[in-house]
Amino acid sequence: MRKAAFAVCQRLSNQLRLTTPSHHRHHPLLSSTTSIMTATVRNDPIVPTSPPAAKRLKTDTNVPEEATSSSSTTTTTTKDTSTTAEGNTTTNSATRTTTTATTMAAEPAAVPSLQVKKLSSTARLPTRGSAFAAGYDLYASKDTTIPARGKALVDTDISIAVPANTYGRIAPRSGLAAKHFIDTGAGVIDADYRGPVKVLLFNHADSDFEVKEGDRIAQLIVERIFTPEVVEVQELEESVRGAGGFGSTGGFGAAAAPVVN
């Protein structure tokens, strides 16, 4: 009886192999089924065969790609748990080294310094009157009289070196101009000048003006400049304005204002 049953099982097993595609003949489930059938007929103890852990396609979407430039490297170990068709639980551990790119903000360029040398004991360093003041106040180093309707050079007893690609412009102080009719002139200090700084003051009033030691007489503004190469040409590029000079854009007042299209 047992031999007959074994023969039937053998025929069924052969039939399964013949009707199963070749790429499925070695499937773990088929091999396990055949082994169980054979063991049942022979009355052998059944030892379940665990198929290999099912392979799972792993797609990491939260792990960034390695950056082209890096400043730090981090090693991360992740564990993925999956369940096979037979109810077996498998744990796959993966270790990935990721490189974190750090973009360093460019540091602002250092502001070049304005070098100042005192030439006497009464000289004072230029100062700014407020946090956002454009100019540095210049101080008189001695008493000086500015004659009415005249002019005079006022000493500061300092010499300066302005940064490259800049020049120092001496501008009037608004208070002196508005209240005392005092203006400045000849106010260009080149970057390669190292002599004493003197301020030319004009007095447009009808009375003399007295400058005292320590008075603020003008302001120094450091401005950037561009010095292009001089090139001689036969003709200049045309412009809409052309050769229109003094008064060519209109007179004074709203009625005389030109119409700009």
pLDDT for residue 47 is more than 70: no
Contact 159, 196 (CB under 8 A): yes
First-to-last alpha carbon distance for the chain, in angstroms, is 115
Each residue's pLDDT tens digit, 183-241: 999 999 999 999 999 999 999 999 999 999 999 999 999 999 999 999 999 999 999 99
Q: How many CA atoms lie within 13 A of 30 on its CB side?
A: 16
Query: Which pLDDT score, from 0 to 100, does residue 173 have?
Result: 96
- The predicted structure's pLDDT at residue 23: 53
What value does the mean pLDDT take over residues 78-87? Answer: 57
Encoding tokens for residue 246? 């003094």
Per-residue pLDDT reduced to its tens digit, 109-123: 788 999 999 999 999
Residue 164 has a pLDDT of 95
Sequence-ordered list of residues with C-beta below 8 angstroms from that of 247, at least 6 positions apart, any chain: none
Instruction: Reply yes or no on whether the pLDDT at 176 is more than 80.
Output: yes
Retrieve residue 61's tokens: 């979407």
Question: How far, in Å, CA of 165 to CA of 151, rounded?
Answer: 31
pLDDT interval class at 105 (50, 70, 90): low
The arrangement of secondary structure in 115-224, i.e. its CATH architecture, is: Distorted Sandwich (2.70)
Kindly report which listed range (44-48, 98-102, 169-173, 212-216) carries the lowest average pLDDT score. Answer: 44-48
SS (H, E, C) the chain: CHHHHHHHHHHHHHHHHHHCCHHHCCCHHHHHHHHHHHHHHHCCCCCCCCCCCCCCCCCCCCCCCCCCCCCEEEEEEEEEEEECCCCCEEEEEEEEEEEECCCCCCCCCCCCCCEEEECCCCCCCCECCCCCCCCEEEECCCCEEECCCCEEEEEEEEEEECCCCEEEEEECCHHHHHHHCEEEECCEECCCCCCEEEEEEEECCCCCEEECCCCEEEEEEEEECCCCCCCCCCCCCCCCCCCCCCCCCCCCCCCCCCCCC
Mean pLDDT of 134-138: 98
Specify the pLDDT at position 229: 97
